[in-house]
Chain A
Amino acid sequence: MKSNRTAVSLVVVSAAVGALFAGTSTYDFIQHLDRQVHAITCTYVPGLGAADASGASGCFAVMMSPYAAVWRTSTWGGIPIALPALAVFIYLAFKAIDVLWRRREDDPAETRYLLAATALPLLTSIAYFFISVLVVGVVCKLCAGVYVASVAAFVAALVAHRRTPAPQGALPWGRDLGQFAVGVAFVAVPVLLYLGLKPDVRGELGRCGKLLRPQDTYSTRVKLHSAEGGTPAIEVLDPLCPACKGVHDRLHATGLMDGIDLEAALFPLDKECNWMLGESVHPGACAVSEAVLCAGARANDVVTWAFDHQSELREAAAKEPASVRVKVTQAFPDLAGCVDRPEVKARLNKALRWTVANSLPISTPQLYVRGNRLCDEDTDLGLEYTLTQVIGPMAAATPQKPAGGSRKSAPTPPPLPSPQGVAEPDAALAPPAPAADAVPPGGEPAAEPTAAPAGAGEPAAKPAEEKLPPPADNAAAAPSDDQQPGGGETNPGAAGHEVTP
């Protein structure tokens, strides 16, 4: 019988180990409730090894996945699955200690209950292991610790139960139900405490900036997802930015896309086209962005392809930036005649100048809903809740404005943004409205003398300016064939945000 005591002791140890892993995961999750950036633990031995601050680890990908928490649309971040896991392991540990302390390790009723109780984390671990591998595409180290602890606890309980004699008499269902109720309390109390104490962030959603000039005068934004009557949203992205892929993937995993009309505003962090950078964060991103603009109605295909092949493209660009241009035209041969043309470069430049006109932070990704920027923390753990709020209750309380940013929702575009953008508030140099309509026809002398030195001699005859046609989509010669993007490697979505060095 001494060996059975060992088996139950192993249940205690396994449950304690499980609690350590689940507790670490819970702690990391709860840390993020303060809406700040935190490194997370991603190691097989919690407490040892460097924390992941980059957002590149599997633990981060899993934590940001929709499977890491429940009720994400109801409360900011949701309730982390690791929290009830922690509670269950603590319950198991104390239950097994209770059995040992009372010296009931040979009682078949006790060991049977322990076996049933350890089956819960075992079944949950099996389910989450398959979700992690098959759906999320990565297994986080902390999760692996939980899986191993669950299996160990169940095996130890199984061994203990098999060594006990067959039960005599009726099963103590009443006592088992009582113990089960205690187990439920072990889960309910921490969860209620979590919900009761967690900060209320409703007042801070969508308050991280707004678009000053959301109109897409030059058709530089591309449609990523159409939803009839949906809330207009703009994702400011770099097609080679892992964090952009992360947000993009999470956005589509929210299940809320039916209510969102999503456009992409290209902001490649590549100094080949982006003058705001001292050095390229993602070499080759300009070439991919040109392809996105060239693709017209199929822009989403190119964005998806770029996201699917990010690792490959970034590696190629690190060796030779020009190789990205080759790869993108190999993947989309019909765009070869468009990428690199002056017109598309000019259009990409307009896309970048749109970020200047709106004084956007030099950072990707950024997500704007109805023209209001969602804070970075609201695009990772809080994405579902924030979106639910901004397209639901908050939207209902706020009059809908065209400033949401959709081309369709901007009936009367305001004067064009200043070339120097709103960051340059020099009123004396504020640009005029487009002057085509203001110029008298017939070659009259131009307007009165200005602050510049007066010209000598005759005023120059100003040729009548033709009425300008509407902005043409010069570069978007959308090919007609329906090439699909290639399949790609699984790339865990990192949720960090790319900022210029």
Chain B
Amino acid sequence: MKPSTIQVVCTVAGLALAALLVGVWVHGAAARVEATRATPAEKTAAVAAAADEGYCTAELKKILKRVLTSCGLVHRDRGRGCQPLEAKSVAAMSGNDFNALFRPLAKRAGIVQFDLDKAELDDAGRTLLDQTFSDQRGASYFLVVSRASPEGSMTHNRALSEQRAEAVLGYLKDKYHDPDLEQEVGLLWLGEEYAQLDQEFSQWNRSRAGAACTSAELNRSAFLAWIDCRL
């Protein structure tokens, strides 16, 4: 073979090899792009969402929804402000059953205790409130269920438990300046008439954990918990 022919053969062969490799590879990538365009893959990544834990039973959601509704959280056209709910009609169930709905929240909830016939938060109460409120995680709603011990009239105790609930909300507003509070905090005051806490709850996280706790003392309280439920 002539030297010049050899040179041409080598040049053409080398060029062809380089072009072939690149051409096949790039064409393959382009074909895959076209295939993807023709049949887009379904998105598989999970999407960020609020929490919805297993304890969010239909009953609990019903109560939550009623409380939120009564507080004006559910309808855009109404200002915030909780309507008094007749405690017994919050849920068509016994007080014990009502309290049982919250048992799964044992690690999540706090019980802020008050002095007799008082609705002012003490230091320990504020600390527990801070701890509980700052542990929102994925919860959408902060439920405050306040009670009163049986001393005094039913009307007085209902008003007293309302004041306790409002004291909690007022503290949160002052401390956190969080507009979301308006959409997140549901207040329910039960007075003395419904779902009094039994001694089991004295083992929960209380603001006066070191002190003895009678049933009456336990119910001079506001039960606080973020509820990890979506409605």
Q: Contact at A26–B22, with CB atoms within 8 Å?
A: yes
A86 → chain B closest CB, angstroms: 7
Given A197-B26, A273-B137 in contact, is the A426-B83 Cβ separation under 8 Å? no
B40 → chain A closest CB, angstroms: 11
Q: Contact at B84–A457, with CB atoms within 8 Å?
A: yes
Chain B interface residue bracket vs A: 35 or more
Given A361-B48, A431-B76 in contact, is the A459-B32 Cβ separation under 8 Å? no
Q: Contact at A432–B76, with CB atoms within 8 Å?
A: yes
Given A26-B25, A428-B74, A452-B85 in contact, is the A468-B173 Cβ separation under 8 Å? yes
- Main secondary structure, interface of A, reads loop
B12 → chain A closest CB, angstroms: 9
Segment at the B interface, from A48-56, A237-245, A416-424: A416-424
Q: Does A280 contact B (CB under 8 A)?
A: no
Q: Does B220 contact A (CB under 8 A)?
A: no
Contact of A424 among B15, B50, B83, B183 (CB under 8 A): B50
A419's nearest neighbour on chain B, judged by CB, is B140
CA distance A352 to B48 in the complex (A): 8
Q: Does A135 contact B (CB under 8 A)?
A: no
Q: Contact at A455–B26, with CB atoms within 8 Å?
A: no
Q: Contact at B33–A34, with CB atoms within 8 Å?
A: yes
Across-interface contacts of A90 in B (CB, < 8 A): 14, 17-18
A279 → chain B closest CB, angstroms: 13
Q: Contact at A275–B176, with CB atoms within 8 Å?
A: no
Q: Contact at B173–A466, with CB atoms within 8 Å?
A: yes
Interface residues of B in 21-43 (CB under 8 A from A): 21-23, 25-30, 32-34, 36, 43
Contact of B83 among A34, A36, A452, A463 (CB under 8 A): A452
1/0 contact trace for B29-66 toward A, CB 8 Å?
A: 11011101000000101111111000000000000011
Contact of A217 among B36, B74, B77, B179 (CB under 8 A): B179
Given A182-B11, A276-B138, A453-B86 in contact, is the A419-B183 Cβ separation under 8 Å? yes
Q: Does A474 contact B (CB under 8 A)?
A: yes
Across-interface contacts of A462 in B (CB, < 8 A): 81-82
Q: Contact at B25–A30, with CB atoms within 8 Å?
A: yes
CA distance A27 to B176 in the complex (A): 56
Segment at the A interface, from B2-10, B109-117, B202-210: B2-10
Interface residues of A in 442-499 (CB under 8 A from B): 445-460, 462-463, 465-466, 468-472, 474, 499
Across-interface contacts of B94 in A (CB, < 8 A): none
B190 → chain A closest CB, angstroms: 12
Q: Contact at A362–B48, with CB atoms within 8 Å?
A: yes
Q: Does B73 contact A (CB under 8 A)?
A: yes
List 9 other contacts, CB 8 Å, given A189-B19, A361-B43. Answer: A102-B7, A218-B178, A353-B50, A446-B81, A450-B72, A450-B78, A455-B84, A466-B173, A500-B46
Q: What residues of chain A have their CB less than 8 Å away from a CB belonging to chain B?
A: 23, 26-27, 30-36, 83, 86-87, 90-91, 93-95, 97-98, 101-102, 104, 182, 185-186, 189-190, 193-194, 197-199, 201, 217-218, 273, 275-276, 342-343, 345-346, 349-350, 352-353, 355-356, 358-363, 416, 418-421, 423-424, 426, 428-436, 438-440, 445-460, 462-463, 465-466, 468-472, 474, 499-500
